[in-house]
């Protein structure tokens, strides 16, 4: 079990719901992943619009907890307004906070993000901020009241994996009591396993599953990788060495040596 935002969940995999070829494939991928939490964008598809209600019914029928997000927002005011709408619609105080500052790499705006996080926390939200791997920004978000931080591995949709594992390791070491979830840039199950081996609490996947040749099989592959990475971390990953060290020391007389 994993305690996140006062809720206990079974899976450390979070799954995004955008870009899937069909509603059925999305539904099957959610079940194959075993994800306990799915993210949805209020700005990209609303229940009031045509087809929206069927989408929300699909998400609810999955049994997963809904984590609304503010994808597409570029200012504090936009993000706060979207979060208020999401709280009313889904009856949850959870919000994945996204405030994008750059069109080229979709990097979060650290200033607007921090301002929005402070305001939403004062309004009673459990904020899941999507941010870069900047230590100072993450510390400020924690100081503002965030109990979950979601640093990127690489730009959204790039599939490049963990571009700066050193900095992600620094975050894990310095923010020991905070739930850390790698969000964005994860392209392969091995990337997710790497994050979990480092001690991250979870990984959010969307594009790598949705655009796979077989999203359902890929969802299952990511689920296994995340579970394996967590098991490796908990059991203790061996430290790297600069020099070789034999696994079977050659001390004394070999057991196969025969006397003349």
86: closest CA among 54, 125, 52?
125
Within a 10 A sphere around the Cβ of 214, how many other Cβ atoms? 13
Bridge-based pairing state of the strands 7-9 and 179-183: unpaired
Q: For the range 98-106, what are the long-range contacts, defined as Cβ-Cβ under 8 Å and sequence gap of 24 or more?
A: 98/69, 98/70, 98/71, 98/72, 98/73, 98/130, 99/70, 99/73, 99/74, 99/75, 100/72, 100/73, 100/74, 101/74, 105/155, 105/156, 106/155, 106/156, 106/157
Is-contact 80 107, C-beta < 8 A? no
Strand partners, 38: 15, 66
**96 has catalytic annotation:** yes
Bridge-based pairing state of the strands 126-131 and 202-205: unpaired
Diameter of the chain by CA atoms? 91
**H or E element in which residue 102 lies:** none
CA distance 244 to 173: 27
Among residues 96, 140, 224, 259, the one annotated as catalytic is 96
Residues taking part in catalysis: 96
């Amino acid at each position: 079990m994993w305690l996140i935002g006062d809720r206990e969940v079974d899976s450390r995999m979070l799954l995004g719901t955008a870009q899937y070829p069909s509603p059925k494939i999305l539904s099957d991928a959610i079940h194959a992943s075993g994800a306990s939490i799915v993210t949805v964008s209020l700005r990209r598809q609303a229940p009031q619009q045509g087809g929206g209600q069927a989408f929300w019914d699909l998400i609810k029928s999955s049994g997963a907890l809904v984590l609304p997000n503010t994808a597409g927002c570029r200012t504090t005011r936009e993000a706060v307004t979207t979060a208020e709408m999401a709280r009313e619609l889904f009856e949850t105080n959870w919000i994945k906070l996204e405030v994008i500052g750059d069109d080229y790499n979709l990097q979060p705006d650290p200033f607007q993000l921090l301002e929005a996080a402070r305001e939403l926390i004062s309004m009673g939200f459990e904020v899941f901020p999507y941010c870069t791997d900047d230590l100072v920004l993450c510390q400020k978000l924690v100081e503002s009241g965030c109990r979950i931080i979601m640093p990127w591995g690489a730009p959204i949709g790039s599939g490049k994996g963990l571009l700066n594992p050193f900095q992600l390791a620094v975050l894990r070491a310095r923010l020991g009591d905070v739930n850390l979830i790698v969000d964005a840039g994860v392209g392969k199950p091995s990337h997710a396993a790497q994050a979990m081996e480092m001690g991250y609490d979870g990984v959010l996947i969307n594009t790598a599953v949705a655009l796979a040749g077989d999203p359902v099989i890929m969802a299952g592959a990511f689920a296994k990788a995340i579970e394996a990475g967590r098991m490796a971390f908990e059991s203790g990953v061996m430290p790297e060495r600069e020099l070789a060290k034999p696994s079977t020391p050659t001390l004394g007389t070999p057991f196969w040596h025969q006397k003349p």
